[in-house]
Structure 1
Amino acid sequence: MRKRPTTIICALGAVLVLTTACGQARAGTALPKGDDAAAYVGGKFETAMNKLQDVIADQRDVTTSSDNYFRFDEKYAHSVITSARTGSPESRVVHNRSQKNPDDVLDTFTPADGALEYMYLGPVFKGAAPTSWVSMPKPEGGLTMKCAFAGILTACKMADAVALSYNADKKTVKGAKVGKDGKTELTADVSFDAFLTRPVEQLPPSIKNQITPELRKAVIPTKILLNPDGSLDQMVMEAKFEGGGHKVELRYDFRFTGKASAQDLPKLPDPAQITALPDKAAKDALFDKIAEARGN
């Protein structure tokens, strides 16, 4: 299994350590801020990083939601991605819904059994395949590459952007507090440059080429909310800023939303209603048609 990037390990390592330490804190009290927070968190990274794989793996039988909004001047993208992962061996489903066009729907279903995964194509993709459902070989590596799962991909990239900003400036970490509900809230200022580098949002060249060095220096306030048991509850990035004659607005809200079960998984149609894509070339051709239908 390929080793996870160190930057992601560091970011969620900070989360783990703060949770452990905050478990002894009185609800409603603040933990270190500013320079003290940076030193406190930074000193604990090395001991926490080896726990990251286990923390991700422990988030089993869960549902997630990721509300992703990005605006550059008058152009914007807004989607809500929900997912469920359940069972042992595990099955996964991801629902991708555009908030601009209700016909822009993509569902991906990866059952635990068999060598195939399935995709449902919404009305906007009519003609991309002979049928609304397609099948394709499961990705190489199966379900072992945790952050390759679209249900948690946004959270992984957000965490990576936090770590990238922290490694560039230890004062990125602003503070942490324990709420009356026992949840721990970690706050950080993430640079727009880190957001783009990871990238949390994959922007088309027509927009990326207009982003100035001034814009890249902008700060994105980020909140990481942890449950009393140390599991991740929510991660939010939200900002509005402008520079170089352009305006940017973004909000990325990832959260675990509940307990998943077999009822969250779809039922496949009759095999005659499923178009088989035999190999990677056929899959790539489909995604080219999907991008074309979206105007990308």
Structure 2
Amino acid sequence: MGAVLLLTASCAAGGREGTAIPDGDAAAEYVTAKFSTTLERLDEDLSANEPRQSTHRSYTRIDDKKSDNTVTAIQVGSPPSRLFKNHSNRDSADYRDYYHPAGSDVEYTLLGPVYADLAPTTWVSIPYDNAGYGVCFWGGYTAVCRMLSTVQSSLENGNAAKQAKSLRDGSVELTAEVTLRDFLEERVVILPDWALEPISEEMRDEVIETRIKLDPEGRLKEIEMNGLISGGGHEIEIKEHYQVLEPPTEESLPTIPPDDQVTALKTDAQVDEFYDRMNEITSGG
């Protein structure tokens, strides 16, 4: 008889065993369904107007080149005001905070000293039009959407080893192995061309360990990806950790900056130039 995967549900009287799920194809189908449900539920949860706060730490090392930053995402209100802060963990001067007040036709960006040459003021405003875009388009949610899409892609391609277990509080933990190839193709981390060159085809087929935790209601609480891959004299290290935190309050949001502290970008050409120059800084170009 093959090994079984046990899902254990707890109760106040000391816990009781849940249904035993066979290992292999049946377990794969169960976990695949769980991931699919999680993706569907995520879109529903993120589209809701309830207060939400999360952090996502992203660390990538290719040989001796490192990137280490934390994104904090906050939404409050109905309709929501949204703030996401992208801060380097290696350089306190390297940060960008993006703030969209509910109903505003502009989004404000607060630039850290590393980006001082991009504008004469620390704040920049850019026209905001969210029509037709899904929740994953917003920078505060982009990475977690891509992380889950990476898992889904690996599952659909048959590349992921799957396990599931229930915890005493009723939450569920899912694990899978996703390929570096899927991770890069889903653009969880966007690497410049010079950083991609040392990553061979063989390295791209290696796996990244992934763990997802759902609360007792099936909502996403945490997702973590870790991998250390070597080949051809090169090494890539991946550490991604997304966590849902306690709900924020209005005090978590900044105040709208006065006009004299804001550089207003109004044309597509101005916006494109702004992001092109920012990309030169962030990509090391």
CA distance in 2, matches of 1:260, 1:223: 25
Residue 234 of structure 1: aligned partner:
222
CA 284–42 in structure 1, closer or farther in 2 if over 3 Å, else same: same
Give 1:168-207 correspondences, 5 Å limit: 168-169=157-158, 172-207=160-195
Q: Is the 8 A contact 1:23 1:228 kept in 2?
A: no
| TM-score normalised by structure 1 residue count | 0.84
Which amino acid is the alignment partner of residue 102 of structure 2?
A
Is residue 276 of structure 1 aligned with residue 264 of structure 2? yes
Contact 1:69/1:78 (8 A) holds in 2: yes
Q: Report the alpha carbon displacement of residue 187 of structure 1 after superposing the two structures with TM.
A: 0.4
Number of corresponding residues? 274
Q: In terms of mean alpha carbon deviation, does 240-249 or 183-192 score higher?
A: 240-249
Task: State the AA in 1 paired with 2:28.
Answer: A
Q: Which residue number corresponds to residue 117 of structure 1? A: 107
Matched, 1:163 2:157: no
1:7 counterpart residue number: none
Secondary structure of the residue that 2:257 maps to in structure 1?
A: coil
Are 2:123 and 1:127 aligned?
no
Match of residue 58 from structure 2? 68
Amino acid at match of 2:240: Y
Structure with more relative contact order (C-alpha pairs < 8 Å, separation 6 or more):
1
1:38 and 2:28 equivalent? yes
Match of 1:145 among 129, 134, 141: 134
User: Secondary structure at 1:196's aligned position in 2?
Assistant: helix
CA positional deviation for 1:99: 1.2
- C-alpha displacement of 1:292: 2.8
Report % sequence identity.
34
Q: Secondary structure at the match of 2:117?
A: coil
**Which ranges in structure 1 are unaligned for 5 or more consecutive residues?**
1-20
Amino acid at match of 2:147: M
Distance 1:43 1:220, change over 3 A: closer
User: Does the residue aligned with 1:260 lie in a helix, a strand or coil?
Assistant: coil
Deviation at 1:43, TM superposition (A): 6.1
Q: Please tell me whether residue 252 in structure 1 is matched to residue 232 in structure 2.
A: no
Is the contact made by 1:70 and 1:249 (CA closer than 8 Å) also made in structure 2?
Answer: yes
> Equivalent of 2:249, from 261, 273, 296?
261
Cα 1:59–1:189 change in 2 (3 A) is farther
What are the Cα deviations for residues 48-93 of structure 1, in whole angstroms up to 9, with x where unaligned?
Answer: 8765532432473110100000001111111000010111011100
Greater fraction helix: 1
How far is the alpha carbon of 1:272 from its aligned partner? Answer: 0.8
Report deviation, 1:181.
2.3
Structure 2 partner of 1:285? 273
TM superposition shift of 1:282:
1.1
Give 5+ residue unaligned stretches, structure 2: 1-6
Using a 3 Å threshold, how does the CA distance of structure 1 residues 77 and 42 change in structure 2: closer, same or farther?
Answer: closer
Q: Distance in 2 between matches of 1:28 and 1:119?
A: 51
Distance 2:99 2:250 in 1: 12
Counterparts of 1:110 and 1:176, CA distance in 2: 38
Deviates more, 1:55-64 or 1:78-87: 55-64
* Comparing 233-242 and 21-30, the one that deviates more: 21-30
CA distance in 1, matches of 2:42, 2:220: 12
Distance 2:180 2:93 in 1: 31
Following TM superposition, by how much is the alpha carbon of 1:139 offset from its aligned partner in structure 2, in angstroms? 3.6
Distance 2:163 2:22 in 1: 6
Say which SS state the counterpart of residue 127 (structure 1) adopts: helix
Q: Which residue identity lines up with residue 148 of structure 1 in the other structure?
A: F
In structure 2, the CA distance between the partners of 1:285 and 1:69, relative to structure 1 (3 Å rule), is: same
